[in-house]
């Protein structure tokens, strides 16, 4: 069984939470307050849509509070498994604590296969395994 104290100790050690000082006490010893460190991890977010009849891709890096740390917007003519490498490489180089990539691209994936996607070049069994291996 894991205790709250053990979890907090681990989160303090990793930097995921920080001490926020003592809370007023109505009796007994003062309680310690903790606050979550939203900069503990960075999330890379990629989403696309059509703008002026062309594929327009937004890539963002955000902290765990949703604060935008970095952004790139660009038109892409052909979208395939390598299309996001440049932006992802830049995010991972700038934010070594990137722990998640979230894609908002219209489609469906089952396991390692993109079954259907508005960007046909992403369909099949190449895109997701390649992404997981690279990052």
Same domain, 11 and 64: no
Same domain, 62 and 98: yes
pLDDT at 23 (0 to 100): 87
Bridge-based pairing of strands 42-51 and 98-104 is parallel
Same domain, 74 and 108: yes
pLDDT at 2 over 90: no
pLDDT at 25 (0 to 100): 80
Same domain, 123 and 66: yes
Same domain, 56 and 83: yes
pLDDT, tens digit (0-9, with 9 covering 90-100), for 68-126: 999 999 999 999 999 999 999 999 999 999 999 999 999 999 999 999 999 999 999 99
Other CB atoms within 10 A of residue 48 CB: 21
pLDDT at 1 over 90: no
For residue 104, give the CATH number of its domain: 3.30.420.40
Same domain, 63 and 22: no
Is 31 in a helix, a strand, or coil? strand
The total number of structural domains that make up the chain: 2
Same domain, 116 and 59: yes
Same domain, 71 and 127: yes
User: Residue 27's domain spans which residues?
Assistant: 4-36
Same domain, 55 and 101: yes
State pTM to two decimals: 0.85
Same domain, 20 and 61: no
pLDDT, tens digit (0-9, with 9 covering 90-100), for 17-69: 999 998 888 788 888 899 999 999 999 999 999 999 999 999 999 999 999 99
């Amino acid at each position: 069984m894991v205790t709250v104290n053990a979890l907090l100790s681990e989160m303090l050690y990793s930097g995921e939470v920080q001490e926020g000082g003592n809370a007023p006490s109505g009796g007994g010893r003062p309680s310690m307050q903790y606050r979550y460190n939203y900069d503990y991890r960075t999330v890379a977010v990629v989403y696309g849509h059509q703008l002026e009849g062309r594929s327009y891709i937004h890539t963002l890096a955000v902290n765990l509070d949703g604060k935008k740390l970095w952004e790139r917007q660009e038109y892409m003519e052909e979208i395939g498994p390598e299309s996001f490498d440049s932006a992802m490489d830049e995010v991972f180089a700038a934010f070594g604590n990137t722990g998640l990539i979230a894609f908002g691209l219209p489609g469906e994936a089952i396991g390692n296969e993109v079954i259907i996607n508005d960007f046909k070049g992403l369909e099949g069994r190449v895109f997701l395994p390649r992404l997981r291996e690279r990052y």
